[in-house]
Amino acid sequence: MRLLGVGMCAAALAVGLLAAPAHASAAGEPAELRGAGWALKDTGKQVRFRGLAAVSRTTAWVAGSKGTVLRTVDGGRSWQDVSPPGAVAEGLELRDVEAFDARRAVALSIGEGEASRVLRTEDGGATWTETFRNPDPRAFYDCLTFFDSRHGLAMSDPVDGRFRILSTDDGGRSWRVLPDTGMPPALPGEAGFAASGQCLVSAGPRDVWLATGGGPAARVLHSADRGLTWRAAESTVPAGDPARGVFALAFRDRTRGLAVGGDYRTGQASPQAAAVSTDGGRSWRQAAAPPPAYRSGAAWYPYSRGTALAVGPTGTDLTRDGGRTWQPLDAGSFDTVDCAPDTGCWASGEKGRVARLERG
């Protein structure tokens, strides 16, 4: 979405870490989260990292403003600046990064026309190849996702009244625009939010979901055939304003999903900032006790029955019941969150902030 093209500037109301959340030892929560909290990892940078890929507890990639990409392979004790030289020179806004391992990653820069690009590395960021540069001045790419190491999609705000989908079947080495015949018409003013790299997410080999805002309703679009055909459903997250809608999705599997968002403007209320789906996004119900403010990122905790994290500029919240109720975990500012299969969870955001979830 264009209003986020140069970054949202929502100020953090508090930036300190809580020593140990009061509810951390509650029954039913994974043992790994009892007494857990975010531990900041010094990146040595002051840029905003809205793109994040958690590979494991030791390996993670972050991507952000000024063309910056960092990688750690030692749990955040040290960071390598592996920024693509061309992206740095042009000051590209890198808002999403998807990593397959410590060596292979794909990054997306956002913006109108040629500012939207895809870059790929196979050597841990030592070299990068530009594999897509958007030729259409009407398109504005927001997010990308991968089903596996070969198949992936990227999404653009509507062009000619429909969201545009870009597809790869060779790990991001080449891309093609999919036909829009299976995409329902966009609502007036509807677009995606390039806030956390989570406006387009996938689960399993073929299912993918797209989050929207800015229009009269905040919708979630679902495709079960890797982006060829889509079905739209209204969420309960408030919309009706360019600053409101669903900012991030997280699906644990083909059926159970979370949507978080709200109003990203500082000081604006977001009373219904989370929703839950148990039918693959065909329908959504409002969280009974949602996060207290706008949230831009969400992630399921691996192997848990209903534990997930949501982050935003004013803090982190935790759910242990599949998104029905949320409780505060941390007051620090983050834009996005991601958990690796080995239960390594990472968060990143403004002023170079990156953290890993660790026991107290």
Q: Per-residue pLDDT tens for 36-91?
A: 899 999 999 999 999 999 999 999 999 999 999 999 999 999 999 999 999 999 99
Q: Is 352 left (phi over 0), alpha (psi -120 to 50) or beta?
A: left
The span from the first CA to the last CA of the chain, in angstroms, equals 38
Q: How far apart are CA 177 and CA 235, in angstroms?
A: 27
- pTM higher than 0.75 for the full model? yes
Name all contacts of 169-177 with Cβ < 8 Å and 24+ positions apart: 171/100, 171/104, 171/106, 171/120, 172/106, 172/118, 172/120, 172/131, 172/146, 173/120, 173/129, 173/131, 174/131, 174/132, 175/118, 175/131, 175/132
Point out which residues pair with 61 in neighbouring strands.
53, 71
Query: Would you list the DSSP string of 37-49?
Result: EEEE---S--S-E
pLDDT for the residue numbered 33: 76
Q: How far apart are CA 170 and CA 149, in angstroms?
A: 8
Q: How far apart are CA 319 and CA 326, in angstroms?
A: 5
pLDDT for the residue numbered 16: 32
Q: How far apart are CA 165 and CA 347, in angstroms?
A: 27
pLDDT for the residue numbered 34: 76
pLDDT for the residue numbered 240: 95
pLDDT for the residue numbered 72: 98
Residues of the chain below pLDDT 50: 2-27
Q: What is the 3-state secondary structure (H, E, C) of 134-177?
A: CCCCCCEEEEEEECCCCCEEEEEEEECCEEEEEEECCCCCCCEE
Q: How far apart are CA 101 and CA 36, in angstroms?
A: 25
